[in-house]
Structure 1
Amino acid sequence: MFQLEELVRPNILTLVPYSSARDEFKGEADIFLDANENSLGSPLTKWYNRYPDPLQWKVKEKLSAIKGIASRHIFLGNGSDECIDVLLRVFCEPAIDNIVIVPPTYGMYEVSAAINNVKVRKVPLTPDFQLDLAGLEKAIDGHTKMIFLCSPNNPTGNSLDRKDVEVLLNNYFGIVVMDEAYINFSRQRSFVPDLPDYPNLVVMQTLSKAWGLAALRLGMAFASQEIISLMNKVKPPYNINQATQDLVLKALDEVGQVNDMIRVLVDERGRLEQELKRLSIVREVYPSDANFLLVKVDNATGTYRKLLDNGIVVRDRSNVILCEGCLRITVGTETENDALLKALIH
């Protein structure tokens, strides 16, 4: 049975978090003399001399309406990478506990674990890029605090079989982190609505992909109120700056525009897939639910360098398990995709 308290590091359970001036003050005021800010303002605007809301409630309220989940179930990080790091610090005792990842997958799970001195166990995906449930069962022990999954998966682009994920959620009583960075490009249903059914589930999403806000660095984690409270306890006091909060609030009013961009990118993904399949250099284009394609080509490293010579940067994934001979190609604009195809032909 899932017992949250047994998974959390003991020092985190007893941790008294830093209490910022804005945490302690509730209500309205005209004069703020509590946080040692510059009362004269800043070279930019008056707003930026004040510390931002440490819990970003206005942003969470807008996200709540869009995602259909209460604000208290939302954690905001300085990119999804901060969400990953905070989860590791909440649950994993350095040099004792371990996490499980399913390569090929997003590289920051392993990097963040290494930074936190947390052991990593790897259970590769099957040849068709799905979960190896038997392998996962063998890899898990009493010190396995978290399993990181990515769906749609990076770098393969496919979605994980939902039934396999549900089997894992129902039979493993540690934390399952589902990274849905590319979910907006997929027809698959998000796991966010399923959070009430799985107290051990954390779902991550981002504004860097479909929303086109990569430069603002805002990642989201959705989970039970208890897990979100622990994450807020551990995060830096003012982890999301005011400029990011202001710009995100404006962007969240433009859901229609974002949906239009998603449609264009999905259409271009389909066109690019078909055009790539016609090229003699291409051996396989793997099905994708993301805004990129994994493409097996002749001489992947040479092709990568050839594209660089033409001023086009893609990702060489040929040294990654199950991705031998492959390039990961982001779906660009129509003009960019045409330039890519032209460079591959000549």
Structure 2
Amino acid sequence: MNVLDLIRPSIKALKPYSSARDEFQGATDDMVFLDANENPFENGVNRYPDPKQGNVKTLLSKIKGIPVENILLGNGSDEVLDLIYRAFCEPNVDNIITLPPTYGMYSVLANINAVDIRKVQLTSDFQPNVNEILKIGDRNSKLLLLCSPNNPTGNSFSEESIEKLLREFKGAVVIDEAYIDFSNNPSWLIRLNEFPNLVVTQTLSKAYGMAGIRLGICYASKEIIAVLNNIKPPYNVNELTQQRAINQLENEEQTQNQIQTILEEREVLVSELKTISFVSKIYPSDANFILAKVDDATKRYNELIGKGIVIRNRTSQPGCENCLRFTVGTPDENKILIETLKSI
């Protein structure tokens, strides 16, 4: 597959905007910059940020073992996904395939970009219906969105299913790995070079505890990354975000310690939820949350709200009738949750 054949013709022909910081590189501290119409008085953020986010990407490259040329950063994963839609999908012509229940922004972004949505519901055990996906796709099916570990179900998709889709789906396969750090399964990054149509998205919002800075990551072939770089806004990741990301990425030990605590607390929550009388099923989780079926999700959700605890009611999602989603909190927060559940 030549994945560039999937890119919109207008995007392939696009001449990207060249910012002042794109045109001149190799700055030193003693240089005078009068090229970008910036306020000259130094306050730490009076200059435009690095449009290529070189220092952040260098750290990510070291941690993930992926070359810098295969990395794109965005203002949250939502911007990364939006750029992917714009690169691949011709408005009012092309379509994407999603697998509900899944992350709701996939459909929102499709609607924003005037792209048709084809849905193939996950099986009863929340796995992709591979044959139906391949059957429903056509020459205008440009993207297949796989969230693994999946939100809101928490489980990972089987390696066999994903590999078959990568080999046989005729468009790009986007694997959203927002929760991969909480899973024992390896990231699909280790097979990035094997599949030209593979795009992997990750984030600093979950395991790295940086939801507030909005930093999403895309890993793909250098050809796809080059296209996405051409269409992204010139300074899409601000200086403060880059600085906070660098500080956190340099403290990998702290991140791993927090992940371990969350995993331990996840098991505590699973064990305790089994003792709650109105909880009838707890689904396996490779994420930092647990999906559980209860007797009446809306009733239990409102009771918890009344006790000052906010969770997520997922009963409206396909296959998730009367299901609640519990994020794994701190040990103290989880203790409060369990005590409250037992009291109601």
Per the TM superposition, whether the score is higher than 0.5 is yes
**Corresponding residue for residue 64 of structure 2:** 67
Taking only the aligned residue pairs, the percentage that are identical comes to 52
Q: Displacement of 1:298 after TM fit? A: 1.1
Q: Displacement of 1:338 after TM fit? A: 1.1
Q: Which amino acid aligns with 1:104?
A: P
Q: Deviations over 1:100-150 (max 9, x none)?
A: 000111111110010001000000100000010111012101100000001
**Corresponding residue for residue 144 of structure 1:** 141
Q: Displacement of 1:75 after TM fit? A: 0.4
Q: Deviations over 1:50-99 (max 9, x none)?
A: 00000101100010000001001000010000011000000000010000
CA distance in 2, matches of 1:26, 1:211: 30
CA distance in 2, matches of 1:295, 1:329: 8
CA distance in 2, matches of 1:98, 1:105: 17
The answer to whether the aligner puts 1:261 opposite 2:258 as a matched pair is: yes
Q: Displacement of 1:26 after TM fit? A: 2.1
CA distance in 2, matches of 1:50, 1:188: 41
- Give runs of ≥4 in structure 1 deviating > 3 Å: none
Q: Which amino acid aligns with 2:27?
A: E
Give runs of aligned pairs for residues 191-230 of structure 1, distance below 5 A: 191-230=188-227
Give runs of aligned pairs for residues 17-32 of structure 1, distance below 5 A: 17-29=16-28, 30-32=31-33
Q: Displacement of 1:188 after TM fit? A: 0.3
**Corresponding residue for residue 293 of structure 2:** 296
Aligned with residue 169 of structure 1, among 163, 166, 169:
166
**Corresponding residue for residue 39 of structure 2:** 38
**Corresponding residue for residue 87 of structure 1:** 84
Give runs of aligned pairs for residues 327-346 of structure 1, distance below 5 A: 327-346=324-343
The answer to whether the aligner puts 1:118 opposite 2:135 as a matched pair is: no
CA distance in 2, matches of 1:250, 1:276: 36
Give runs of aligned pairs for residues 128-139 of structure 1, distance below 5 A: 128-139=125-136
Q: Which amino acid aligns with 2:322?
A: G
Q: Which amino acid aligns with 2:271?
A: Q
CA distance in 2, matches of 1:259, 1:251: 11
**Corresponding residue for residue 97 of structure 1:** 94
CA distance in 1, matches of 2:7, 2:221: 14
Aligned with residue 275 of structure 1, among 272, 278, 284:
272
Kindly indicate whether the alpha-carbon contact (under 8 Å) linking 2:134 and 2:168 is maintained by their aligned counterparts in 1.
Answer: no
Gaps of 5+ in 2: none
Q: Deviations over 1:264-314 (max 9, x none)?
A: 000000010010011101010101000000010111001000000011000
**Corresponding residue for residue 306 of structure 1:** 303
CA distance in 1, matches of 2:41, 2:290: 51
CA distance in 2, matches of 1:274, 1:26: 55
Q: Which moved more, 1:220-229 or 1:130-139?
A: 130-139
Q: Displacement of 1:4 after TM fit? A: 2.1
Q: Which amino acid aligns with 2:228?
A: M
**Corresponding residue for residue 6 of structure 1:** 5
Q: Which amino acid aligns with 1:15?
A: L
* TM-score normalised by structure 2 residue count: 0.98
Q: Deviations over 1:145-194 (max 9, x none)?
A: 00000110000000000111000111113100000000000000000010
* TM-score normalised by structure 1 residue count: 0.97
**Corresponding residue for residue 319 of structure 2:** 322
**Corresponding residue for residue 157 of structure 1:** 154
Kindly indicate whether the alpha-carbon contact (under 8 Å) linking 2:2 and 2:196 is maintained by their aligned counterparts in 1.
Answer: no
CA distance in 2, matches of 1:137, 1:48: 49
Q: Deviations over 1:223-268 (max 9, x none)?
A: 0000000011111100000001011111111111110001100000
CA distance in 1, matches of 2:134, 2:46: 52
CA distance in 2, matches of 1:120, 1:288: 27
2:200 alignment partner, SS class: strand
Aligned with residue 109 of structure 1, among 106, 109, 132:
106
Q: Which amino acid aligns with 1:157?
A: G
